[in-house]
Amino acid sequence: MKRIGILGGMSWESSVEYERVMNVAVRERLGGAHSADLVVRNYDFAEIEALQERGGWDALAERLSADARVLETAGAELLVIATNTMHVVAPQVQAAVSIPLIHVADATADAVRAAGLDTVALLGTRYTMELPFYRERLAEASITSLVPDEPDRTLVHDVIYRELVRGVVSPRSRAEYLSVIRRLRGAGAQGVIAGCTEIELLVRESDLDCPLFPTARLHALAAVEAALAV
């Protein structure tokens, strides 16, 4: 079993889910008392959020790249950025290390294709919905992603930062998200990508009439597959 390096804490609610999924998956695959071999860098998310708001992507790339090298020195044999948004700096992080980085959009695209879909709604932070890094990665896999118009886009973003990253799961926000999803379904979305790992805390597939692609789970499982590959 290869050691997985995790750049996490962005926010810790999603990182905890990553670790839970990885540990359960390894135990199911190997049996007994087995668990995942992990080395984790958990950030103070308030510092990350402040840099995001200021557009400090270069500083964030430097910080994550430096810590990726630390994880590699600690024995990590593959790397995971345990958040969708911070994959905006994935190319710089990958360039900083010699171990493979498992990309969340690739794991998600594989699941969308396996479901036979080619057009999906993409919900996430404003950065994930508006910057090209995620949608272009999906487009390389022949997947069209639809994002909300305003004011829905702001609503989706604000619920993530004002509630979900702080552990607040509101029935009202769930209802508002479901309304956003219905509008995107009307625009042609065949499924929904929970393109911010915390969204999985708010919306479940049982809430929807279409497939939901939970990126944290898909990403974590892809990392376990890579770690256990012969």
CB 195 within 8 A of CB 84: yes
Identify whether residues 98 and 197 lie together within a single domain. Answer: no
Considering only CA atoms, which of 56, 111, 115 is closest in space to residue 85? 56
pLDDT given for residue 196 in this prediction: 86
The Cα 230–Cα 219 span in angstroms is 19
pLDDT given for residue 175 in this prediction: 95
The Cα 68–Cα 78 span in angstroms is 10
* Residue 160 DSSP class: H
Beta strands at 119-123 and 191-194: parallel, antiparallel or unpaired: parallel
The Cα 56–Cα 42 span in angstroms is 19
The Cα 180–Cα 75 span in angstroms is 43
Q: Is 144 an active-site residue? A: no
The Cα 168–Cα 160 span in angstroms is 9
> Which of the residues 83, 85, 108, 197 is marked catalytic?
83
Q: What parts of the chain have a pLDDT lower than 50? A: none
CB 208 within 8 A of CB 177: no
Number of domains making up the chain: 2
Considering only CA atoms, which of 47, 54, 127, 142 is closest in space to residue 87? 127
Q: Is 215 an active-site residue? A: no
pLDDT given for residue 165 in this prediction: 84
pLDDT given for residue 60 in this prediction: 97
Residue 119's SS3 state is strand
Identify whether residues 113 and 96 lie together within a single domain. Answer: no
- Give residue 30's Cα distance to chain centre: 25
Identify whether residues 138 and 125 lie together within a single domain. Answer: yes
pLDDT given for residue 198 in this prediction: 83
* Residue 226 DSSP class: H
- Phi first, then psi, for residue 178 (nearest 5°) are -65, -35
Identify whether residues 110 and 207 lie together within a single domain. Answer: yes
CB 188 within 8 A of CB 146: yes
Identify whether residues 143 and 181 lie together within a single domain. Answer: yes
pLDDT given for residue 76 in this prediction: 98
CATH number at residue 169: 3.40.50.1860
Identify whether residues 33 and 63 lie together within a single domain. Answer: yes
CB 55 within 8 A of CB 41: no
Identify whether residues 46 and 122 lie together within a single domain. Answer: no
> Which of the residues 85, 108, 196, 197 is marked catalytic?
196
The Cα 193–Cα 181 span in angstroms is 10
Q: Name the residue range of residue 141's domain.
A: 105-214
Q: What is the pTM of this model?
A: 0.91
The Cα 34–Cα 153 span in angstroms is 42
Identify whether residues 89 and 117 lie together within a single domain. Answer: no
Identify whether residues 114 and 207 lie together within a single domain. Answer: yes
pLDDT given for residue 201 in this prediction: 84
